[in-house]
Structure 1
């Protein structure tokens, strides 16, 4: 049995400013770092053979904070980086809606109708193919034990689509994937089983509220 732990990078400066990042990057906020450390504490009792990280610094730095003082190999996988949003990257939601209202709405509300061409972005179908390729390569390398994948929100949704054959039009169905939330999927060589999806119990806001 292979236990696949999934998490999204911690909160970044652009997340807080409501700016799309895609292939561009911004630094983790203090809260993003803190939540990554809290996730590391939550996972400290588990032995991981490998951590697979997106090549984006926000994901790679999150992976390093999750390691704490443990020496876990981190393998950078270029295909696990976020979808390219083209000309939308670095712009706020309000700015994008002003210039690309229909396509921005389609991306989130009707992704099967989304057209990436007007803003020179990556298509959802091409994006899903590269993410699935990365996941298949990981599965070929690992048949049992625990692995952790540190990546991005849209990538995690694409992985879930791959695991359970979810069509593009239903990609954004719940749960919402927050930064440093934890998902656990078990692979028995035949099927992917949902154990935990988008759990945030270790995160700062829950600790403060409790």
Structure 2
């Protein structure tokens, strides 16, 4: 079984360096173009399922990559980006001003990052739901290729899980750019990263 995990294409807020979280903004011209290039790259891969975050930026990317295939796009809210509460919709600079210590932890000391806001998630919350998603997907499908369209933090968490790393290593390279491809092979209960954050289709 292989999971072809893709980050959504670049959005308007990505270009403005605004954090999106559970909020949303449309794909840019570049984001659409890069998704089209990835669609061509994956054209010969036969997928048994397509599972997307319900966020429109992910769904739009999924529809582009699917192309003319008739396969339905399933949605799973466990693939949504981390909920960043009051930070959502703000630029990095705005967040640094309003919440400097917590933002410092988020960016440089992720194991010390903690949110008390009712709606906001901690990184451990994302780990829990992504592990749950992986377990259910492995039990449901067991074989075949599966296209997963999701978000940057979710993909970094998937890397942590596959490598059995702790949260303090979440921002280690490679960077997860828009439409980057990460491939996870699952065999006999073992999860192996075959490709991480590949963007060769953009070149």
Relative to the length of structure 2, the TM-score reads: 0.97
Partner residue, 1:114: 113
User: CA shift at 1:189, angstroms?
Assistant: 2.3
User: CA shift at 1:7, angstroms?
Assistant: 0.6
Contact 1:9-1:179 at 8 Å conserved across structures: yes
Q: Which runs of 5+ in 2 are unaligned?
A: none
User: CA shift at 1:9, angstroms?
Assistant: 0.3
Partner residue, 1:81: 80
Post-superposition CA distance 1:158-181 (Å, at most 9, x none)? 111222211001111111100101
Partner residue, 2:140: 141
Distance of aligned partners of 1:90 and 1:119 in 2 relative to their CA distance in 1, 3 Å threshold: farther
- Segment of structure 1 superposing worse, 125-134 or 168-177: 125-134
Within 5 Å, give how 1:30-179 maps onto structure 2.
Answer: 30-117=29-116, 121-179=120-178
Runs of 4+ in 1 over 6 A off after TM superposition: none
Please state whether the residue corresponding to 1:193 is helix, strand or coil: strand
Q: Which runs of 5+ in 1 are unaligned?
A: none
Contact 1:52-1:76 at 8 Å conserved across structures: yes
Residues in 2 aligned to 1:77 and 1:189: alpha-carbon distance in whole angstroms = 24
Contact 2:85-2:117 at 8 Å conserved across structures: no
Please state whether the residue corresponding to 1:48 is helix, strand or coil: coil
User: CA shift at 1:119, angstroms?
Assistant: 8.4
1:180 aligns with 2:179: yes
Please state whether the residue corresponding to 1:21 is helix, strand or coil: coil
Please state whether the residue corresponding to 2:148 is helix, strand or coil: strand
Post-superposition CA distance 1:36-78 (Å, at most 9, x none)? 1110100000100101100100001100000111112211001
Partner residue, 1:5: 4
Residues in 2 aligned to 1:56 and 1:120: alpha-carbon distance in whole angstroms = 17
> RMSD across aligned C-alpha pairs, in angstroms?
1.2
- Segment of structure 1 superposing worse, 21-30 or 121-130: 121-130
Residues in 1 aligned to 2:188 and 2:147: alpha-carbon distance in whole angstroms = 18
